[in-house]
Amino acid sequence: MARRSREEIGQPDDPDLAPFMNLVIILIPMLLLSVVFLEVAVINVTMPLGGSTTKDTDEPPDERLDLSIALAPNGFYITAAGYQRPPIEGCPTQGPTICLEDDSVDVAERFEEARRLLAAGQDADGESVMEEGLQAYNFRELYNMLSGFKEDFPDESTVRLAADPDIPFALTVRVMDVSRYRLTESSYDTNEAFWSAEFATETAEDGEEQFANLFGDPAFAVVQ
């Protein structure tokens, strides 16, 4: 039997896709132009092996700063120019260089509780407990001391970071944030002024303004 044409049986013709394709061709460049590309910032971190050494504080300092910060549940132990720095005023004589600002907080217990909550999927509670432990540290005094080192060793930019095994990486990141850039003042007397301070700027070799470097090249060290 002879086949009948589409007109004879009333079937529609194939749809005309040309207008739709034209619309797609127009929309693709518009979508690409409207995309906001995510700029990922990273910190240049190296990982040399070896821990810090200590010397008698009566010996003359080395020519190099050789700065290192050991993170512990009771504060920061700072070694610079060849020897461990003594505790600042208000800290125990046998304690860290910069003790906890709030010694009523059991930092080790807070960090352990935060790990337990995060592992159980309770992210909000875990982060809140973690922040309680972080806020016990004296980051303002840490910045004040690092700023003083920078004035004596303006060409130094490296700081070695070492931490106890139970120290969370969140504390390491916050220490890197504090030590990376200079602020508008070399020291601060209150936490409110410190945390609200603006970054200082400087002119780069290419003539562009950039944040003034403090110790922006952190390196991880091994605790010994």
Q: Using one digit for the tens of pLDDT, what is the confidence trace for 89-103?
A: 999 988 899 999 999
Q: What is the rounded average pLDDT of the residues 145-158? A: 93
Which DSSP letter does residue 11 get?
Answer: P
Q: Where are the domains of the chain?
A: 47-101+137-224, 106-135
**When comparing pLDDT for 152 and 61, which is higher?**
152
**pLDDT confidence of residue 8:** 55
Structure confidence at residue 161 as a pLDDT band (50, 70, 90): very high
Residue that is written with structure tokens 């610079």 in the block: 80
Q: What is the rounded average pLDDT of the residues 167-178? A: 93
Written as one letter, the residue type at 108 is: A
CB neighbour class for 96 (10 Å; exposed up to 12, middle 13-18, buried from 19): buried
**Residue 180 and residue 158: Cα distance in Å, rounded?**
10
Q: How far is CA 193 from CA 197, 198, 215, in A?
A: 6, 10, 21
What radius of gyration, in Å, describes the C-alpha atoms of the chain?
A: 29
Question: 147, 132, 143, 128: which is closest to 195 by C-alpha?
Answer: 143
Give the whole-number percent of the chain exceeding pLDDT 90. Answer: 57
**pLDDT confidence of residue 51:** 40
Q: How far is CA 176 from CA 46, 110, 160, 161, 180, in A?
A: 13, 21, 10, 9, 6
- The tokens of 200 are what? 């200082």
- Contact 75/100 with Cβ under 8 angstroms? yes
